[in-house]
Structure formats: C-alpha cells, structure tokens
Amino acid sequence: QKEVEQNSGPLSVPEGAIASLNCTYSDRGSQSFFWYRQYSGKSPELIMFIYSNGDKEDGRFTAQLNKASQYVSLLIRDSQPSDSATYLCALRHDGNQFYFGTGTSLTVIP
C-alpha cells in the first residue's frame, strides 16, 4: 500500500474557478504535510505546509487537514492559467522521512 495517494488527473478547471486537489495517506503517525507545485521541466516548489487539523490559508491557497480521515487537500481560489502544473502532496514522518504522492496534473483553461 502506498503511503500517499493522489489522483493523477488530469484535472481541468476554467479560469477563475476553485481547483480542489486531494491526497490521502495511510500512516496515522505522519506529522506534517506539504504541497508542492512542479512546472514541467522544473523542480518542485513548496507552496504550503500544514500539521494541525483544520484549514490554513495563504493568499489564494488553502490547505485542509483531517487526521481522523487521513486526508489533506489543497484549494486554489480564482485559478489562473499560471497555476497549471503538477501538484505533489508529501508527508513527513519522524527522522525526516518524506513520502511523496505521484502528483495531480492541473490545467486551468483560459
């Protein structure tokens, strides 16, 4: 069983809409959770991290964590074509062990 599961997509949303990206994980001992954005041909870029249940907002991005249901999500409000990328979900265990999902491809249609 994979540690981190993401729907590979592709997910398409119109410009200005809300994009919702979801991730589930298997280990309840996971301590913190990260969302990365990766443009084609580039390395991943950290968008947000979250470690407490609930929502965390940063500009147009909101990360949501539900430890009881073992899922973490990323909402992108007012989606822009420049948000088109692959979004990677990652979690951290003790000892700096990180596990990445395979990523969800998002396309924002102008």
Partner 1 sequence: GAVVSQHPSWVICKSGTSVKIECRSLDFQATTMFWYRQFPKQSLMLMATSNEGSKATYEQGVEKDKFLINHASLTLSTLTVTSAHPEDSSFYICSAIHLSHEQFFGPGTRLTVL
Q: Residue 33 has which token pair?
A: 């959770």
Q: Residue 22 has which token pair?
A: 């979801």
Which CB atom, from 40 or from 82, has the smaller least distance to partner 1? 40
Map residues 27-66 to x or -, x wherever contact with partner 1 holds by CB under 8 A. Answer: ----xx-x-x----xxxxxx--x-----------------
Which of these segments, 57-65, 66-74, 75-83, 90-98, binds partner 1 (CB under 8 A)? 90-98
Member of 33, 76, 103, 106 binding partner 1 (CB under 8 A): 103
Q: What is the DSSP string of 79-98?
A: --GGG-EEEEEEEEEGGGEE
Q: Residue 41 has which token pair?
A: 């041909």
Q: Residue 74 has which token pair?
A: 């990323």
21 lines the binding site for partner 1 (CB under 8 A)? no
Q: Residue 65 has which token pair?
A: 């964590």
79 lines the binding site for partner 1 (CB under 8 A)? no
User: Left, alpha or beta for 6 (phi > 0: left; psi -120 to 50: alpha)?
Assistant: beta
Site residues for partner 1 per CB under 8 A = 31-32, 34, 36, 41-46, 49, 88, 90, 92, 96, 98, 100, 102-103
